[in-house]
Structure 1
Amino acid sequence: MEDIPGYVAGTFIAIVIAVLGFLYYAVSSATPGKKNITSSLVITLLVGWIFFVSVQTFNGYFTNLSGVPRLPMFVGCTIILIILLFVWPRTRAILMEMPITTLHYIHIVRVPVEMVLWWLAVSRAIPMDLTFEGSNLDIISGISAPFAAVFMVGARSQSRVGAIIWNVLALLLLIHIVKMAVGYMPYFYTPTSGGEIANLGVFYFPYVLLPTFIVPSVLFCHLVSLMQLIFKKDQSQF
């Protein structure tokens, strides 16, 4: 990991900050009467989670590959938390009020994420198959996100069906690359003589925040968007 240029880590950290900003704005807009309390609590918890994961990374927790797959276990914890947010009526009510345009614009970060993945692959920290040069088409979601935000859920142009289709397709692209990334992890993959390598880059800071923060955040925004598009009757509230 020492051979990776510093601008790669800098770009990725900027992506993490951008996602935090999007989520903070979404929560603040959903709770205008409790902006200072709810949004501050959410951002504090998110930053706390990022700090906790980062400390574990520096301590070599994830690079210890013996026993239970630790990184997938952490990712599983974030998935469980997301499910609980949808199950608890109080948090579900807040999710329904998040600005759906913000929930679509956030996916723009998937473009620089794909650039970071490509840089990591060039440095042989992850397989090239996990980039847009390989089988990863997730960059399409990032490129099309602003169009979906403006023309499908925007204030002047809305298409509920189109937005649902876009979210489903983008979600399938996300699931596809996550499945590939898990398959290339050293728990499950052994490099062959063909020159392909295991997915090791995400076991180190700051890239560990991709599976433990960025991907869950993107997944969360897709699910909230779909919930609003399917169950929110008044489109004008988008």
Structure 2
Amino acid sequence: MDKIPVYVSPVFILTTIATSVFIYFSVHQAQNNKKEKTALIVGLLISVWLVLTALLGHNNFYLDFDAKPPRLVFGIVPPLLTILALFVNSKSRAYLRNIPITTLTYLHTVRVPVEMVLWWLFLGGLVPKLMTFEGINYDILSGVTAPFIAIFAMGFKNKRRLVAIIWNIIALILLINIVGHAILSAPFPFQKFAFDMPNVGVLYFPYVWLPTFIVPAVLFSHLVALMKLFEVKSGLK
């Protein structure tokens, strides 16, 4: 970690904070009245999760490569199960329909600084080149195009709706691509790539927030957006 410039961690911490703010305000905008506390509860739960994963990362919990299952599972599975529960439950799914799709789209701008951080980690020898935009990670395109999609493609017209659907699907595929390669590049028993420079950077604090929070948040945003886009009767807002 000594090879990583001092500004990288603050950039990533600010990116994580920005992601949490996007999630908070998206939930806040979905509230039906001022007395509702859903956004506050979500904000508190996110804060607790970030503190918990930060403490584990700071104490090198995720760096035990001999553990079975890999300890990163304990940072990835809870948010994924939470997302699944939100979509399975009819009441929470109805609430998700009220989240403004534009806010969810703007959230994807955090993918730009994330890609810069991954590149810096690669230069420091902590992640393989394939996880950067110099390799096979084109996720930065999602972040760059997100504001334009939010401004020009969100509306009731079928043509704009189609553009938004296509963009979300492509951006989701790009996310799955880098997540899959990142997992298979980590020094776990099932590693398939990057044996000369494995993916260990995201197992340290604060970068562990990438797989345990930012990626799930991005996935959540895509899934909610696609649900709204395919449900014409719900409209877009």
Say if 2:125 and 2:197, in contact at 8 Å, map to a contact too.
Answer: yes
Structure 1's 29 and 157: CA in aligned 2 closer, same or farther, altered over 3 A? Answer: farther
Deviation at 1:62, TM superposition (A): 0.6
| Counterpart position of 2:18 | 18
| Counterpart position of 2:174 | 173
Say if 1:12 and 1:113, in contact at 8 Å, map to a contact too.
Answer: yes
Superposed counterparts of 1:93-112, under 5 Å:
93-112=94-113
Bigger CA drift: 59-68 or 23-32? 59-68
Rounded Cα–Cα distance in structure 2 between residues aligned with 1:199 and 1:106: 25
Superposed counterparts of 1:1-238, under 5 Å:
1-34=1-34, 37-67=37-67, 68-153=69-154, 159-187=160-188, 188-189=190-191, 192=195, 196-235=196-235, 237-238=236-237
Say if 1:101 and 1:154, in contact at 8 Å, map to a contact too.
Answer: no
**What root-mean-square deviation, in Å, do the aligned CA atoms of Structure 1 and Structure 2 show?**
1.8
In the superposition, the TM-score normalised over structure 1's length comes to 0.93
Counterpart of 1:203, as a letter, is L
Say if 1:96 and 1:232, in contact at 8 Å, map to a contact too.
Answer: no
Aligned-pair identity in percent equals 45
Say if 2:101 and 2:225, in contact at 8 Å, map to a contact too.
Answer: yes
Deviation at 1:159, TM superposition (A): 1.1
Deviation at 1:157, TM superposition (A): 10
Deviation at 1:124, TM superposition (A): 0.6
Provide the aligned length of Structure 1 versus Structure 2: 234
Rounded Cα–Cα distance in structure 2 between residues aligned with 1:50 and 1:143: 26
Structure 1's 191 and 93: CA in aligned 2 closer, same or farther, altered over 3 A? Answer: closer
Counterpart of 1:51, as a letter, is V
Counterpart of 1:101, as a letter, is T
Rounded Cα–Cα distance in structure 1 between residues aligned with 2:176 and 2:199: 16
Rounded Cα–Cα distance in structure 2 between residues aligned with 1:66 and 1:15: 31
Deviation at 1:232, TM superposition (A): 4.1
Rounded Cα–Cα distance in structure 1 between residues aligned with 2:131 and 2:234: 40
Counterpart of 1:13, as a letter, is I
5+ long unaligned stretches in structure 2: none
Counterpart of 1:97, as a letter, is N
Rounded Cα–Cα distance in structure 1 between residues aligned with 2:223 and 2:125: 33
Structure 1's 95 and 210: CA in aligned 2 closer, same or farther, altered over 3 A? Answer: same
Deviation at 1:50, TM superposition (A): 0.6
In the superposition, the TM-score normalised over structure 2's length comes to 0.93
Deviation at 1:73, TM superposition (A): 3.9
- Residue 61 of structure 2 aligns to a residue in which SS? coil
5+ long unaligned stretches in structure 1: none
Structure 1's 58 and 147: CA in aligned 2 closer, same or farther, altered over 3 A? Answer: same
Rounded Cα–Cα distance in structure 2 between residues aligned with 1:164 and 1:95: 17
Rounded Cα–Cα distance in structure 1 between residues aligned with 2:35 and 2:215: 25
Say if 2:155 and 2:161, in contact at 8 Å, map to a contact too.
Answer: no
Say if 1:151 and 1:158, in contact at 8 Å, map to a contact too.
Answer: no
Counterpart of 1:179, as a letter, is G
Deviation at 1:234, TM superposition (A): 4.5
Structure 1's 55 and 152: CA in aligned 2 closer, same or farther, altered over 3 A? Answer: same
